[in-house]
Amino acid sequence: MHNLSNRLNFSGGPGALPETVLQQVQQAISAVPEVGLSILGISHRSDWFAAVVQELEDNIRTLLGLSKGSHVLFLQGGATQQFSMIPMTLLRGKTSPAEYLHTGYWSGKALAEAKREGPIRVLWSGEANNFDRLPTDAELDYSPDAPYLHYISNETVEGLQFQRVLGRDDVPRVCDMSSDFLSRPCEADRYAMIYAHAQKNIGPAGVTVVLLRDEILKDAPEDMPGFLNYRSHIKAHSIYNTPPVFSIYVVLLVTRWLLNDMGGLGNMAALNSSKAELLYRTLDQSDNFYRGHANIADRSLMNVSFNLPSKDLEQRFLQESAAAGFSGLGGHRSIGGIRASLYNGLTLSAAEELAGFMAEFKKANG
Ligand SMILES: *Cc1c(COP(=O)(O)O)cnc(C)c1O
């Protein structure tokens, strides 16, 4: 038996989804009201599903204020497939290096894949400092000749988040927003490409949202495998082969919730900030009992990574928090410690309960 509470799911991913969305999903598994069939058995070639894809695209455009010059695609393979598809498309045959920032675990994965496809230059690395901070503008010497600049807006493992747009306006910006997409407004038109899998902030695993400006495909190789060619998916309006109908539908429900219940990304960002402030305040007022991993200026509003004075205390923290109904608080296997992820679906009251638990735990063990 367990006593975990879904309200208190602080998992790094797949992440918590809003309760009202989960209720609609439950109903859709039996039958989507306007169709009469289970979402698990509706044809991807139906008019209804084409309308789902269209509405989801429209909702994302509305939420981000994205212009018509960008395509909105729903692909498979997760962010990991984008780590390869991007350099296959934009770097093959190039002589000047693409620029990559190495700010944490996930950007390390991205640059390892890019290296297979062409020249890259690591513009800045936080590896020697255990990825505890992000670079300042003064530390970034961008080249005007790079085919593109790649970075990750939120390092999910270490809990580091950029609060500004990087790069030069004359070099295409490519950004992995997997763990903070639709958590705040983002000046989407300034990026040549944004990609984000669904399973941290906006839905279940299985679908990856890719926004890309048409002009970046102009020199892309023509001889790519069909499935790995963005042009195939653009032409097929994201229904090139059987797409993950269920995952796409859930992401649609989340975007409806963002638009109608939350009232847009400005409000979502304000709520996400309140949750994060609560936990960071708990760290900062703990007399160094809770030790934040990230440099204060670079703290993520999505993932709060921290340590306790000893591994034993961390173990006890995880055991006692699980007994109190909390889940997903174990840090990523690469760095250990504790991580509280505060994705869109996690409520303010859940963050308050965790802050309360942390205060009590410190009192008993500090
Ligand atoms: C989780 C994560 C990934 C990995 O995504 P997959 O969909 O599992 O391939 C990539 N980038 C970031 C920023 C992540 O948080």
pLDDT band at 351 (very low <50, low <70, confident <90, very high): very high
Q: Averaged over 211-233, what is the pLDDT? A: 95
**From CA 366, how far away is CA 363, in angstroms rounded?**
6
Residue 125 reports pLDDT greater than 90:
yes
Pair 254, 21: CB distance under 8 Å: yes
* Token pair listed for 204: 């279940």
pLDDT, tens digit (0-9, with 9 covering 90-100), for 80-101: 999 999 999 999 999 999 999 9
pLDDT, tens digit (0-9, with 9 covering 90-100), for 289-344: 999 999 999 999 999 999 999 999 999 999 999 999 999 999 998 899 999 999 99
Look at residue 2 in the predicted model and tell me its pLDDT: 72
**CB of residue 77 inside a 6 A radius of ligand 1:** no
Residue 275 CB coordination number (10 Å): 25
Please report, for the chain, the start and end positions of each structural domain, with discontinuous segments joined by +: 22-261, 263-365
Reduced to 3 states, what is the DSSP secondary structure of residue 52? Answer: helix
pLDDT, tens digit (0-9, with 9 covering 90-100), for 239-252: 999 999 999 999 99
Beta-strand ranges (E) seen in 130-189 are 149-152, 154-155, 160-161, 173-176
Contacts of 287 (CB under 8 A, 6+ apart): 366
pLDDT above 90: percentage of residues in the chain: 98
| Chain centre to alpha carbon of residue 114 | 20
In this structure, is the dihedral angle defined by the CA atoms of residues 262, 267, 268 and 274, taken in order, positive or negative?
negative
Look at residue 253 in the predicted model and tell me its pLDDT: 98
**CB of residue 156 inside a 6 A radius of ligand 1:** yes
From ligand 1's centre to the CA of 309, what distance in Å? 29
**pTM score of the predicted model:** 0.98
**CB of residue 99 inside a 6 A radius of ligand 1:** no
From ligand 1's centre to the CA of 287, what distance in Å? 33
**If you average pLDDT over every residue of the chain, what do you get?**
97
Look at residue 366 in the predicted model and tell me its pLDDT: 87
Residue nearest to atom 7 of ligand 1 (CA): 78
What residues form DSSP beta bridges with 230? none
**From CA 248, how far away is CA 198, in angstroms rounded?**
9
Residue 146 reports pLDDT greater than 90:
yes
Q: Averaged over 116-143, what is the pLDDT? A: 97
Contacts of 297 (CB under 8 A, 6+ apart): 133
* Token pair listed for 314: 């961390």
From ligand 1's centre to the CA of 110, what distance in Å? 10
Residues with a known catalytic role: 106, 176, 200
* CATH code at 263-365: 3.90.1150.10
**CB of residue 172 inside a 6 A radius of ligand 1:** no
Architecture field, domain 22-261: 3-Layer(aba) Sandwich (3.40)
Pair 111, 122: CB distance under 8 Å: yes
pLDDT, tens digit (0-9, with 9 covering 90-100), for 257-291: 999 999 999 999 999 999 999 999 999 999 999 99
Q: Averaged over 138-163, what is the pLDDT? A: 98
Query: Closest by alpha carbon to 308, among 296, 298, 297, 316?
Result: 316
Q: Averaged over 218-223, what is the pLDDT? A: 93
Look at residue 247 in the predicted model and tell me its pLDDT: 98
What residues form DSSP beta bridges with 71? 212
Look at residue 294 in the predicted model and tell me its pLDDT: 97
Residue 1 reports pLDDT greater than 80:
no
